[in-house]
């Protein structure tokens, strides 16, 4: 029997001489698109540019005739850092492009709806960052984002999307990460959250097979966290240092955050989305909050009517339940840790529910929307970070007799191609 040969990827075409191109449109990843198609990053529609490389994806050499919409990027790391793709585009056309992409994604599923003016996050408002660390000196690691389409690290000094308190903490975070490289395979990521009680950092990617960090490295980590006055530092959820419990205010409740808990990326976007969801749920008699997390929408919804809340993350549900004591006067919340993919809340369990909210991960809520479609729920509010899976789930609801009435686009990940949304369905 012949041994199985592993198929090798074809080698990329050799780079040709530089070519002059006219950019005709913007692609889905934020690259300019010329005839061919050929994709050139950091370009804009109507620009004439010089590019080089082989195949469809080229590198920008020079902008020969700039667009009137081109602006000076605010970050010194732009072009090298892979964190932002669109800092060179004026705000209004950039935002209009995101809304057009959202409308196009819905149209591919033959869905029409009123698309409202977009909510746009401002610079210096991000409260959550994922920063990669690489070995530097004994006093400071290299810390930043991956370079564009590369595993190389761009060591950052500033980050214009981040809250000023996180920007100011970059040197302290580099110092914090320095003891994490005892094992050559360690490639740490610092998941940083600015909470109401200070900066919370959960570190992943430290090699554990060799026994994890030594006692000496853990002591250094704790000492440096204390020097920086971080609220908490955890290693894959295990507490390495804690001065204060990280908390956030969600509606009327104060929630003690589990390590690595999900929060919306900016406070302002969270407030806009939660306000929109609450307005759409007004008048409900009983509400289901599916994929509830730590209660981003739950506590606000519970001011309207009793809420049935469910999420796969047990720690998040426990934090939500514990926070109920801090918010007297709510109509009542029943929370359950439940895998909504393998065990969605069934149509029969939703008999008394007239409004349902779902806010799933990027993969969407196919199994749960199938149950919502079978149920007697009159109104559904969908929150999504992925318009493609939202459109798929919307089609399930529409085919069952719902209509997507209106959509709020949310630009929470500034200067990236990503757009989020909240949509309201009525049966």
| Domain limits, the chain | 16-70, 96-122+263-426, 128-247
Q: Which two tokens stand for residue 145?
A: 């984002």
Nearest to 231, CA basis, from 346, 127, 90: 127
At a CB cut-off of 8 Å and minimum separation 6, what does 395 contact? Answer: 109, 110, 111
Residue numbers annotated as active site? 385
Q: What is the pLDDT of residue 11?
A: 59
* Residue 104: its H or E element: helix 91-107
For 235-255, the pLDDT digits (tens) are 999 999 999 999 999 999 999
Would you say residue 2 has pLDDT above 50? no
Evaluated on CA atoms 46, 50, 55, 58, the torsion sign reads negative
Give the pairing of strands 128-134 and 142-146: antiparallel
Quick check: helix, strand or coil at residue 371?
A: helix
Q: Is 398:106 a contact under the CB 8 Å cutoff?
A: no
Domain 16-70 adopts which CATH fold?
OB fold (Dihydrolipoamide Acetyltransferase, E2P) (2.40.50)
Strand segments (E) across 265-398? 287-290, 307-311, 333-337, 355-358, 379-384
Running DSSP on this structure, what letter comes out for residue 81?
B
Tally of CB atoms within 10 A around 79: 16
User: Which of 7-11, 262-266, 296-300 shows the lowest per-residue confidence on average (mean pLDDT)?
Assistant: 7-11
Q: How confident is the model at residue 210 (pLDDT cuts 50, 70, 90)?
A: confident
Q: What is the pLDDT of residue 75?
A: 97
Q: Mean per-residue pLDDT for 329-354?
A: 97
Q: How confident is the model at residue 7 (pLDDT cuts 50, 70, 90)?
A: low
Q: What is the pLDDT of residue 1?
A: 45
Q: Mean per-residue pLDDT for 325-330?
A: 95
Q: Where does 96-122+263-426 sit in CATH, by number? A: 3.40.50.150
Residue 89 phi, psi (nearest 5)? -110, 135
Q: Is 200:231 a contact under the CB 8 Å cutoff?
A: yes
Burial environment of residue 183 by CB neighbours within 10 A (0 to 12, 13 to 18, 19 or more):
middle
Query: Looking at domain 128-247, which of 1.10.599.10, 3.40.50.720, 2.40.50.1070, 1.10.3720.10 is its CATH number?
Result: 2.40.50.1070
What strands lie across the sheet with 16-22, from one edge to the other?
A: 16-22, 48-53, 59-65
Nearest to 425, CA basis, from 3, 159, 400: 400
Q: Which two tokens stand for residue 223?
A: 């000492």
- The model's pTM is 0.92
DSSP letters spanning 137-204 = -SS--EEEEEBTTSS-EEE-S--TTB-HHHHHTHHHHHHHHGGG-SSTT---EEEEEEETTEEEEEEE
Query: Is 399 among the annotated ligand-binding positions?
Result: no
Q: What is the pLDDT of residue 207?
A: 87
How large a percentage of the chain has pLDDT more than 90? 93
Would you say residue 425 has pLDDT above 60? yes
Q: How confident is the model at residue 12 (pLDDT cuts 50, 70, 90)?
A: low
Query: Is 20 among the annotated ligand-binding positions?
Result: no
Instruction: Determine the Cα–Cα distance for residues 117 and 322; give it in Å rounded to an integer.
Output: 37
Instruction: Determine the Cα–Cα distance for residues 388 and 259; give it in Å rounded to an integer.
Output: 30
Evaluated on CA atoms 119, 122, 127, 129, the torsion sign reads positive
Query: Is 264 among the annotated ligand-binding positions?
Result: yes
For 146-202, the pLDDT digits (tens) are 998 788 999 999 999 999 999 999 999 999 999 999 998 899 999 999 999 999 999
Average pLDDT of the chain to the nearest whole number: 95
Instruction: Determine the Cα–Cα distance for residues 143 and 201; give it in Å rounded to an integer.
Output: 14
Give the pairing of strands 38-40 and 114-115: unpaired
Q: What is the pLDDT of residue 356?
A: 98
Instruction: Determine the Cα–Cα distance for residues 17 and 295; give it in Å rounded to an integer.
Output: 55
Query: Is 426 among the annotated ligand-binding positions?
Result: no
At a CB cut-off of 8 Å and minimum separation 6, what does 328 contact? Answer: none
Given this chain, do its domains 16-70 and 96-122+263-426 carry the same CATH topology? no
Q: How confident is the model at residue 398 (pLDDT cuts 50, 70, 90)?
A: very high
Q: How far is CA 330 from CA 80, 327, 334, in A?
A: 49, 7, 12
How large a percentage of the chain has pLDDT more than 70? 96
Q: How confident is the model at residue 212 (pLDDT cuts 50, 70, 90)?
A: confident
Q: What is the CA radius of gyration of the chain?
A: 24
């Amino acid at each position: 029997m012949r041994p199985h040969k592993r198929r090798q990827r074809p080698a990329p075409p050799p780079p040709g001489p530089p070519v002059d191109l006219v950019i005709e449109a913007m692609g889905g990843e934020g690259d300019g698109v010329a005839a061919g198609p050929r994709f050139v990053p950091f370009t804009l529609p109507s620009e004439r540019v010089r590019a080089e490389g082989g195949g469809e994806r080229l590198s920008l050499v020079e902008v020969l005739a700039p667009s009137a919409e081109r602006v000076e990027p605010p970050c010194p790391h732009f072009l090298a850092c892979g964190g932002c793709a669109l800092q060179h585009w004026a705000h209004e056309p950039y935002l209009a492009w995101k809304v057009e992409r959202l409308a196009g994604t819905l149209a591919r599923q033959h869905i029409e709806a009123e698309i409202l003016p977009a909510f746009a996050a401002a610079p210096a408002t991000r409260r959550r960052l994922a920063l990669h660390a690489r070995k530097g000196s004994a006093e400071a690691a290299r810390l930043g984002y991956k370079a564009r389409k590369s595993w190389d690290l761009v060591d950052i000094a500033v980050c214009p999307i981040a809250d000023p308190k996180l920007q100011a903490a970059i040197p302290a975070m580099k110092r914090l990460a320095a003891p994490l490289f005892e094992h050559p395979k360690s490639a740490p990521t610092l998941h940083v959250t600015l909470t109401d009680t200070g900066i919370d950092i959960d570190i992943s990617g430290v090699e554990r097979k060799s026994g994890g960090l030594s006692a000496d490295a853990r002591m250094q980590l704790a000492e440096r966290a204390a020097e920086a006055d971080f609220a908490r530092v955890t290693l894959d959820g295990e507490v390495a240092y804690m001065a204060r419990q990280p908390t956030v205010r969600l509606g009327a409740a104060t929630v003690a955050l589990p390590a690595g808990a999900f929060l919306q990326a900016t406070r302002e976007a969270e407030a806009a989305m939660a306000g929109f969801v609450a307005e759409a749920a007004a008048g409900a008699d009983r509400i289901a909050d599916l994929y509830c997390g730590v209660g981003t929408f739950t506590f606000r919804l519970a001011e309207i009517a009793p809420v049935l809340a469910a999420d796969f993350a047990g720690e998040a549900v426990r934090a939500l339940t514990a926070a109920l004591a801090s918010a007297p006067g709510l109509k009542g919340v029943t929370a359950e840790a439940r895998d909504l993919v393998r065990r969605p809340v069934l149509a029969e369990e939703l008999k008394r529910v007239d409004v349902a909210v779902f806010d799933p991960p990027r993969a969407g809520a196919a199994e749960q929307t199938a149950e919502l479609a079978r149920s007697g729920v009159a109104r559904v509010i969908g929150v999504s970070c992925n318009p493609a899976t939202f459109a798929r789930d919307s089609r399930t609801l529409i085919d069952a007799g719902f209509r997507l009435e209106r959509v709020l686009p949310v630009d929470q990940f500034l200067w990236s191609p990503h757009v989020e949304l909240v949509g309201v369905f009525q049966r």
